Amino acid sequence: MSKFYGIGVGPGDPELLTVKAVRVLGEAGVVCVPISGPDRDSLALQAAAPYLPAGYETMELSFPMSRDRSVLTESWRAAGEAVAARVAAGRVVVFLTLGDPLLYSTYGYLLRYLKRHHPECPRETVPGITSFGAAAAAAGEPLAEGEESLAVLPCAYGLEAVERALDTFDNVVLLKVHRRLPEITALLAARGLLEHAFLASRVGREGQFFSTDIENVSAGSAGYMSLIVVKRGNDR
């Protein structure tokens, strides 16, 4: 039966896909690969590759790294129309995304477009393991316990929200930290929180590493796939 699936493949380790994700991938006729540029490899496709059948079609969907709303809207429209056409033709179409499809993923924009413009298109989301969940597991550190609160937020466009989160929540997960690592380090140091934090990079992939010495980790060595967990517990 034709259908559109959004599949979270986890942080990058093929062994961290769910049983359902593996089953659906085995039925895929078309595999959507989101790209932000013509030369960017798909880490999500690498994670899913062991479970894909022979002869599937790869469909690259362009999602530019832009803050221009008109550019983004057009990319969502083009992707949505391409997906809807293949589902209407009887194909099983899967959209691969690292982590979970509904957490800071371009899949969410595509899903919204299909809901609005192609409500007849059957669709289903298969959740995946988040990078910070996998990082906490690998580090052996609970993200939250008892009545502790937890915030998860990206750092790509500024640290105002980070400061508010540190004031409000017991534990904080910071995503997309590589470009602002010096600023984040200074902020944590000023608040006396460096000893309560650890950095994880490339979780579930080759080159995975963890550090509690965040001050001595360079943005270059951390790389794009990096996050920071600040664990204060309820000692605020």
CATH number, domain at 20? 3.40.1010.10
Domain shared by 84 and 145, yes or no: no
Q: What interhelical angle do 69-88 and 107-117 show, nearest 10?
A: 70
Same domain, 86 and 16: yes
Residue 113 lies in a domain: yes
Q: Hey, how many other C-beta atoms are within 10 angstroms of the C-beta on 190?
A: 9
Of the three residues 77, 95, 126, the one that is the final residue of a domain is: 126
pLDDT tens figures, 184-227:
999 999 999 999 999 999 888 888 889 999 988 876 677 778 99
pTM of the full structure: 0.90
110 shares its domain with 46: yes
Q: Are residues 107 and 180 in the same domain?
A: no
Provide the pLDDT for residue 188: 95
Range of the domain at 59: 3-126
In a domain, 236, yes or no: no
Give tens-digit pLDDT for 103-145.
Answer: 999 999 999 999 999 999 999 999 999 999 999 999 999 999 9
How far lies 71's CA from each of 75, 78, 143, in Å? Answer: 6, 11, 37
10 bridge partner residues: 99
Question: What is the distance between the alpha carbons of residues 81 and 130, in angstroms, rounded to a whole number?
Answer: 28
Domain with residue 140: its CATH number is 3.30.950.10
In the listed set 72, 97, 126, which residue is the last one of a domain according to the structure? 126
Number of domains composing the chain: 2
Domain presence at residue 28:
yes
